[in-house]
Each structure stands twice: as structure tokens, then as C-alpha cells.
Amino acid sequence: MVKPHWDATQYEFESRRTVVFARRGMVATTQPLASEAGLEVLRRGGNAIDAVVAAAAALAIVEPTSNGIGSDAFAIVWKDGKLHGLNASGHSPERLTRDELERRGLRELPTHGWLPVTVPGAPAAWAALVERFGRLSLKDVLAPAVDLARDGFPVQPVTARNWRRAMEAHRDRLTDPVHEPFFRLFAPGGEVPGPGDLFRNPDGARALEAIASSGGRAFYEGEIADAIDAFARETGGLLSKADLAAYKPEWVEPLSVRYRDFEVWELPPNGQGIVALMALGALAGMDLASMDEADRAHAMLEAIKLAFEVALREVADPRFMRVTPASLLSKDHLDALRAKIGDEAHLPAVERPYYGGTVYLCAADGEGNMVSYIQSNYMGFGSGIVVPGTGVSLQNRGHNFSMDPSHPNALGPRKRPYHTIIPGFLTRGGEPVGPFGVMGGFMQPQGHVQVLVQMLDLARNPQSALDAPRWQWLQGKRVLAEAALGEDVIAKLRARGHEVDVTDDGTPFGRGQVIWRLPNGALAGATEPRADGSIAAW
């Protein structure tokens, strides 16, 4: 194959994106082909809910480095004058116990293989959203994703880079039989696709068709469930058809805090949206707009660390939590957090891992419907398991369980782990403003806070808010910052005790999308410059 003489990964000159405006519909994702899949469904008579599911299914095919058919998902939907939340994170297998790990000679869950796999919730989310709020059939909604999987698609530049990095990280698993189907699908003939190379997943196309024709049940009770069950039994997995059949996504009530003139909405635990809400609740009592960049970043970092200290102790499957979300968002608790923000960087009493691999997307239509949606395999490609004959890669969400038996997030059977993926939504005076989100593991609530401060405190447009340089709290006093934050700001943060490392690589800082409804009903959209993202507008 003759390659072009130019390199799609090299960009010598500064570029910029502008806010995109539309009236009849908008889909914002990390992949141009996925955005177009959503817009195609809108043009065929679907609404924003149909569009976001079409885009999500397409993303499961065109960005397998972050998500797949075997992902988990969460959504916030504005429909019929109110917000609706969907938790489509899966529970652990019935056989996942500490005794089972000890029997295998393990003291903790590995990052890859069968043991960290929980029931995937994304197919159930697609079916539930379309059934309750959509206008088209699930078959029509998933049709663009089926076409992309069957006919193939050219790989985008950032996806190609992440694909190669992931395959290098997986190389030591190359000879493990449980991972052989994974390499056969994603590195066919030992080759990793590069920018512009065509990639096909015909087994994935057939799986999507089965999901579409069965309203999602083929994944949990039919042929795909049979294939998952059989491969698990053959290769030492715990996930069974009974675990899959027992699963249903859960409709939940979103939580909110007031920030400036807006209401910020997130989903309740087992997700970590409450981290963003606690941090924002603490920051709401501070005049961030009048601070210089370093002081503002310091205050936000301290608020984030304080919120994580609480969440990493308490957030879990709601059935096992020791505290209520309402108590964590109470005025007294938020005031207490704010009071702890001092002039120096404090050392949190918790640690957090670094992992993440997720897609965030959103959609809106001309009728006023809007959706904030997120879907994830967790660590890049997830568990490194592809179920033979299905094209389905499985997430590894169970790795977020705690091995402390006294912790509310302790590993256990039929239990949802602490989840990092969080969709966000803004309202003002009870009226919808729009969906927003920033993916990226434990970066996500940090990204939510930073983008909202840019828009709501500093009055920057959504695209500028996504373009702005970011930082990420890692562990202890360690912070990773983009070089664009500036030497002066970084020096001032270090003087306050933050241990700041600097990078030019935007990958660790998440990838976001925003749709903002204007008072005249027009839609304003922004997409992440650190990704292959684009906005499809109508």
C-alpha cells in the first residue's frame, strides 16, 4: 500500500477550532464518523436520544482504544421538561469473592484478563434509552455502526497513536491463549493500524445486528451471552450467562449543586460525579474570577483533593455506602471542605490509580431534547479479552474494587464497583442549558470543574473552555500540568507546595464536549482539541 508523503500525526503550526452553531440538531463526539452517524439518524427522523445511541454504538467500533460493545455507560437525558439519569454500569460475577482470589493465589485483582470483568452495561443502555425516549427502532439506530463495522473505516490520527501505545503495553500478553482473540482482532497479522488505515470488525457487525433485532437481549440472554459464557468457562473466567441475564440498567435521579447562576447536575454513586459536585460546592463560596491564574488553580486543586478524599473513602455501590449523597452535598459539609482550603498544598490521606479509557459524547435536537452520555472500557482496550466470533471487547471495571474488606467498595459478588465515568448537565433557573463532559479516568471530575470554571467564572465560550490548558492531581501533592499553563503559574504552584510535573502530551488531561442552548433556541457546540473530535451540525 502506497502511503502519502505527509504525516497525519505531525502538526507544525498552531490551529484553532471555533464554536459551531446549529438550529435543528447537533452531535459532538471524539470521532468524526461517530458524530456523522448520530447526525444521519437525526436526519432520518430520530431525536437526540436516537442520535446519541447511534453515535455511541459507532464509537464502540471506530474508537476501540477507549470503548466497545462490552463497555459500561451512563446518561443524563433532558426530555419532557425534566432530567432523567441512567446508570448502566454492570455488577460483578456471582463467583467473584475474596475466597476465589485466594484459591487462585491472588491478593488483589489483576488489571487484565477475566477477573476484573464485570457485566457490560452499554448494550442495555442503548436499548433502554431508545425504548423509553427514542423515536426510531433500535435496528435503525444501530444501522450506521453496523455499516462501519462490516464495511470498515479509516483510523483517525489520535486513535491510531493510542492504539499503538496500547498494543505495546499488551505485548507481554501476546502468548496468553485468553488474549489471542484480542490480538487477532486488533492487530491482524501482527500489524497495528495507523492513521488512515482501514479497519473492519465483521464479527462486531453481526453482534450489533443481534443486539438491534433483540432489543439488547441477545447480549444478556441469547447468542452473545452464550459465547461469553463459553469462552469464560474455557479460559478461567467467572462471568456467566446467569450473571448477564440478571443484569438491568437502573433509572436514577441526578444530583445537583448550585454554582454561580447555574445548577450543575451529575449522577449519584456508584459514579464519581459527586466529586465534581463537592469540589464545586466548596468553590462556590470563593471569588475565583478575581484571582490570578495560579491562585485559582491552587484553590481548585485543593477542592478537588478534598472531594476525592471523601469519595475514595465512601463512594461505592449505593447499597453498601455508609453515608448518603445528600449528606455529602449538604451546606455544612461543603462549608467544612471550603474551610480546609489553605494557602499551602495539603497532603491527602488517600491514593488513587491513574488508569482511564473512555468516550464522552452529547447530542441535542431542534425539539429541545438533549443528552449527556459516556461509555467506557476503563483501561484503554479494557480487559484485553475479545469474545471469539463476536467482535466484543470486554471492560475491566472490576479493578476499581477495594481489597479492604471493611471498605464500602470492597470486592464482592453481584456488586457495582466505584465508577469513574460521569456525564454532566447544566440548567439555569430550571431550564436546560446543555450537556457537558470530560472523559479520562480520575481526571473526569477534575476536567468537569476546570471546564465549568472557564465557562461560568471566566465567561469563556465553550470552545475556549475546552482549549484552555489543564492540570491533573495525581497522588499526594503530585500534579501533572500542560506546558501551556505557563512557567509563571507552574512556579507559583510549586512555591505553594504542589509537586508539578509538566508535559506537552495532552493525552492525560481528558477529552470533552459541550453543547450549550442559546436563549433563541440555537445550539452552540464545542469539541476537544486533544482528540480526533468533531461536531456534526444540522
- The answer as to whether 137 is a domain residue is yes
Domain check: are 259 and 208 in the same one? no
Segment (H or E) for 150: helix 138-151
**Dihedral of CA 280/283/284/290: which sign?**
negative
Q: The cell 435503525 sits on which residue? A: 140
Query: How far apart (Å, rounded) are the C-alpha atoms in residues 73 and 420?
Result: 11
- The answer as to whether 117 is a domain residue is yes
Query: How far apart (Å, rounded) are the C-alpha atoms in residues 315 and 308?
Result: 10
Neighbours of 36 (CB within 10 A): 19
| 111: CB partners within 8 A, 6+ apart | 355, 379, 396, 399
Domain check: are 300 and 341 in the same one? yes
Domain check: are 295 and 376 in the same one? no
Q: Name residue 28's amino acid.
A: A
* Distance (Å) of CA 180 to CA 70, 506, 518: 17, 31, 50
- The answer as to whether 413 is a domain residue is no
Domain check: are 246 and 256 in the same one? no
- The answer as to whether 14 is a domain residue is no
Closest to 463 (Cα-Cα) out of 13, 10, 33, 18? 18
Determine the Cα angle at 476 with ends 300 and 294, to 5°.
30
Q: Single out the residue in 333, 368, 400 at which a domain terminates.
A: 400
Boundaries of domain holding 117 = 20-250+356-400
Q: Single out the residue in 344, 369, 400 at which a domain terminates.
A: 400
Residue segments in the chain with a per-residue pLDDT below the cut of 50: none
Closest to 30 (Cα-Cα) out of 354, 375, 355, 265? 375
**Cell numbers placing 98:** 475474596
- The pLDDT value recorded for residue 233 is 97
Query: How far apart (Å, rounded) are the C-alpha atoms in residues 144 and 146?
Result: 5
* CATH number, domain with residue 446: 1.10.246.130
Query: How far apart (Å, rounded) are the C-alpha atoms in residues 135 and 166?
Result: 38
Beta strands in 348-477 (DSSP E): 358-365, 370-376, 386-387, 392-393, 424-428, 431-438, 471-473
Domain check: are 217 and 93 in the same one? yes
- The pLDDT value recorded for residue 12 is 79
Query: How far apart (Å, rounded) are the C-alpha atoms in residues 88 and 423?
Result: 12
State the DSSP string of 336-367: HHHHT--SS----S--------EEEEEEEETT
* Distance (Å) of CA 381 to CA 83, 200, 359, 433, 506: 31, 16, 12, 33, 19
Segment (H or E) for 153: strand 153-154
Domain check: are 222 and 318 in the same one? no
Q: Single out the residue in 370, 400, 430 at which a domain terminates.
A: 400
Q: Which residues pair with 22 in a beta bridge?
A: 523
Domain check: are 316 and 450 in the same one? yes
Burial class of residue 205 in the structure, from the number of CB atoms within 10 Å of its CB (0-12 exposed, 13-18 middle, 19+ buried): buried
Domain check: are 387 and 259 in the same one? no
Domain check: are 280 and 382 in the same one? no
| 485: CB partners within 8 A, 6+ apart | 293, 297, 469, 470, 471, 502
Structure confidence by residue, pLDDT tens digits, 281-294: 999 999 999 999 99
Active site residues: 358
Domain check: are 72 and 119 in the same one? yes
Q: Name residue 424's amino acid.
A: G
- The pLDDT value recorded for residue 446 is 97
Domain check: are 210 and 97 in the same one? yes
Neighbours of 248 (CB within 10 A): 12
Report whether 443 contacts 374 (CB < 8 A): no
Q: Name residue 463's amino acid.
A: Q
- The answer as to whether 415 is a domain residue is no
- The answer as to whether 537 is a domain residue is no
Query: How far apart (Å, rounded) are the C-alpha atoms in residues 130 and 138?
Result: 6
Q: Name residue 374's amino acid.
A: I
**Cell numbers placing 524:** 452552540
- The answer as to whether 1 is a domain residue is no
Domain check: are 57 and 174 in the same one? yes
Report whether 17 contacts 527 (CB < 8 A): yes
- The pLDDT value recorded for residue 353 is 55
> Is the entire prediction scored with pTM above 0.85?
yes
- The answer as to whether 107 is a domain residue is yes
Number of domains present in the structure of the chain = 2
- The pLDDT value recorded for residue 1 is 56
Query: How far apart (Å, rounded) are the C-alpha atoms in residues 92 and 397?
Result: 9
Structure confidence by residue, pLDDT tens digits, 493-525: 999 999 999 999 988 899 999 999 999 999 999
- The pLDDT value recorded for residue 2 is 66
Report whether 267 contacts 85 (CB < 8 A): yes
* Distance (Å) of CA 187 to CA 88, 236, 380, 509: 29, 24, 15, 27
Q: Which residues pair with 21 in a beta bridge?
A: 524
